[in-house]
Structure 1
Amino acid sequence: MGDAVVGALVVTLVVGAAGGLLLKRLKVPAGLMIGAFVAVAVLNVSTGFAWLPSGTRTGVQIVAGAFVGCSLERSDVARLRSFVKPIVVMLVSFLILNLVLGFVLWATSPLDLVTSLMCAVPGGINDTPIVAADMGADAPAVTVMQLIRQVLGIGVFPVMIAAFDRLRTAHGHPDPGNRALASDAQRVKSKQKSIASTFAALVVATLAGLLGKATGVPGLTFTASILAVLVLKLGFDFAYIPKQVKKACQLVAGCYLGTLLTAEGLAGMVDLAVPALILVAGYTLNCFATGRLESRLFGYGRKEGMLIASPAGASDMALIMDDLGVQNTDVVIMQVVRAAFVMAFFPQIVNLICHFVGA
């Protein structure tokens, strides 16, 4: 590795870390990855000097997969039986939304099919663009669209849900309240947080991820890592990824995505205005429709149902719930299940669709 390459690597990581830490300090949601992406993208567009090794994408997918695999607890699985049907309704609604939005975006924008479908995947903003890049999609476009979804879930939907609830209450339709309130104590978290359990999770994720990559199936590196660590976690309670590792992974992921944005690619971003509006409309409609369905079929409160259908992340959901006066932790668990299920299976569904469509 020559001095110029090493220099480009160091500059890319330093610039990305500075951008990520700045936005994190400003308390921007997903600030580490977004800040690193923006900073490195600016560096690459203006100088073309940004660079990371080709294996970065695989490494990020493996570590991110390990973290997602560690997100479910044994107690979560034990409690899932009590609300399997609401989870199925939630997942089916998000899958239908993903497919409908993806094909609409494909039909109304210059985006190709795999990019359109991955733009609409309700997964993690840190994970989805990396998997999308592995599948041959336009990763910067997916990053921008996933950022819009994240902003909707964290910054817009809570205000909208609260306003809608006040409006309905003012018109004589009070929220029916919480369904089968669950306390935080019922979600028992693993106490196994040793260096050995972290090492075991990373080794298992690496082996599974490399096997997945060897198959040549796009996105299977990430999926295999999730499933392998999930088995280790739920079967042996011996898998743990510290938050510091996740944060480092977010920074590197943001840096990598930033290296993919070129001056030519930036010029094409103006074409995302219409897709962004379609995405916002689709997720808003789903929030109301699926939220209403969850309330009518399973007795959830109005705010609970809409939170279940919100595109925010599980960690964000805990804060949003507090702000809206909702205490039912079933909502958080359902969001954890959504994140794990979506990132494990939705990319493979997208891959199959693109294979059969031939796009």
Structure 2
Amino acid sequence: MQAVLTLLLYLLVGCLGGLLAMTTGIPAAPLAGALLAAGLLSMSGRIELAQWPSGTRTLLEIGIGTVIGTGLTTAAVSELRQLWRPALLITLALVLTGLVVGLWCSRLLGIDPVVSLLGAAPGGISGMSLVGAEFGVGAAVAALHAVRLITVLLVLPLAVRLVVSLTQGRPPG
């Protein structure tokens, strides 16, 4: 019974963190907020770690895959007819860069190569955390991706506005 209450507390804290983050207007705020809230609770040491029931990860992977899959529309496929070259170039550049940065971090900073390679991979936090969990390093990979995701979500919209305004000859704002 205690394990169920612990799990429910994590779910409640994650939901509250996600809902609170939604008020910030940051892209993917529910994901980042839930991750931060549940992570902070877990790191606090005030409550035991959540023990997820067997098969939960599989159900979550199916759910995440379904959410991502619903975004693949005929319009998206139609756009890929024109964008396949940049998609290929971007994918290759990100994968190669992720491999180089991951290996570099592993060697220079003494980080486990699995953690650094998956942490530097260009995938999303949920997908890469699930892959990391398969290797037994899901929490470390999630932490690296959380830092990356939150930084990108805060910095990139500002950078895009600045670049667009500069290329269109308007002051940023």
> TM-score of the superposition, structure 2-length normalised?
0.79
**CA contact 1:20–1:31 (8 Å) conserved in 2:** yes
Partner of 2:144: 145
Partner of 1:99: 99
Residues 113, 30 of structure 1: CA spacing in aligned structure 2 closer, same or farther, 3 A cutoff?
same
Q: RMSD across aligned C-alpha pairs, in angstroms?
A: 2.7
**Unpaired segments ≥5 residues, structure 1:** 176-323, 325-359
Q: Secondary structure at 2:125's aligned position in 1? A: coil
Q: Secondary structure at 1:47's aligned position in 2? A: coil
Q: Which of 36, 42, 67 is residue 44 of structure 1 equivalent to?
A: 42
**CA contact 1:43–1:50 (8 Å) conserved in 2:** no
Task: Pick 1 or 2: higher relative contact order, CA cutoff 8 A, min separation 6.
Answer: 1
| Count of residue pairs brought into register by the alignment | 168
Residues 4, 160 of structure 1: CA spacing in aligned structure 2 closer, same or farther, 3 A cutoff?
closer
Residues 59, 149 of structure 1: CA spacing in aligned structure 2 closer, same or farther, 3 A cutoff?
same
> For the residues of structure 1 that align with 2:144 and 2:27, how far apart are their CA atoms?
15
Q: Secondary structure at 1:136's aligned position in 2? A: coil
**CA contact 1:105–1:116 (8 Å) conserved in 2:** yes
> For the residues of structure 1 that align with 2:69 and 2:53, how far apart are their CA atoms?
25
Q: Secondary structure at 1:127's aligned position in 2? A: helix
Partner of 1:160: 159
**CA contact 2:32–2:150 (8 Å) conserved in 1:** no
CA drift of 1:27 comes to: 3.2
Q: In the alignment, does 2:109 pair up with 1:109?
A: yes
**CA contact 1:61–1:131 (8 Å) conserved in 2:** no
Residues 30, 110 of structure 1: CA spacing in aligned structure 2 closer, same or farther, 3 A cutoff?
farther
> For the residues of structure 1 that align with 2:157 and 2:54, how far apart are their CA atoms?
39
CA drift of 1:39 comes to: 2.6
Deviations 1:102-132 (A, max 9, x none): 1111112232111111111222223321222
Residue type of the partner of 2:135?
M
Q: Secondary structure at 2:53's aligned position in 1? A: coil
Partner of 1:20: 18
Q: In the alignment, does 2:80 pair up with 1:80?
A: yes
Q: In the alignment, does 2:96 pair up with 1:123?
A: no
The aligned runs of 1:52-63 (5 Å cut-off) are 52-63=52-63
Residues 140, 82 of structure 1: CA spacing in aligned structure 2 closer, same or farther, 3 A cutoff?
same
CA drift of 1:56 comes to: 2.1
CA drift of 1:100 comes to: 0.8
Deviations 1:249-281 (A, max 9, x none): xxxxxxxxxxxxxxxxxxxxxxxxxxxxxxxxx
Larger Rg: 1
CA drift of 1:67 comes to: 1.8
> For the residues of structure 1 that align with 2:42 and 2:152, how far apart are their CA atoms?
29
Residue type of the partner of 1:11?
L
The aligned runs of 1:1-359 (5 Å cut-off) are 3-45=1-43, 46-51=45-50, 52-137=52-137, 139-163=138-162
**CA contact 1:43–1:49 (8 Å) conserved in 2:** no
> TM-score of the superposition, structure 1-length normalised?
0.42
Residues 36, 78 of structure 1: CA spacing in aligned structure 2 closer, same or farther, 3 A cutoff?
closer
Q: Percent sequence identity over matched residues?
A: 30
Residues 11, 160 of structure 1: CA spacing in aligned structure 2 closer, same or farther, 3 A cutoff?
closer
> For the residues of structure 1 that align with 2:106 and 2:97, how far apart are their CA atoms?
14
Residues 141, 87 of structure 1: CA spacing in aligned structure 2 closer, same or farther, 3 A cutoff?
same
> For the residues of structure 1 that align with 2:158 and 2:34, how far apart are their CA atoms?
28
> For the residues of structure 2 that align with 1:160 and 1:141, how far apart are their CA atoms?
28
> For the residues of structure 2 that align with 1:38 and 1:73, how far apart are their CA atoms?
31
Residue type of the partner of 2:95?
L
> For the residues of structure 1 that align with 2:164 and 2:39, how far apart are their CA atoms?
40
> For the residues of structure 1 that align with 2:78 and 2:162, how far apart are their CA atoms?
35
CA drift of 1:136 comes to: 2.3
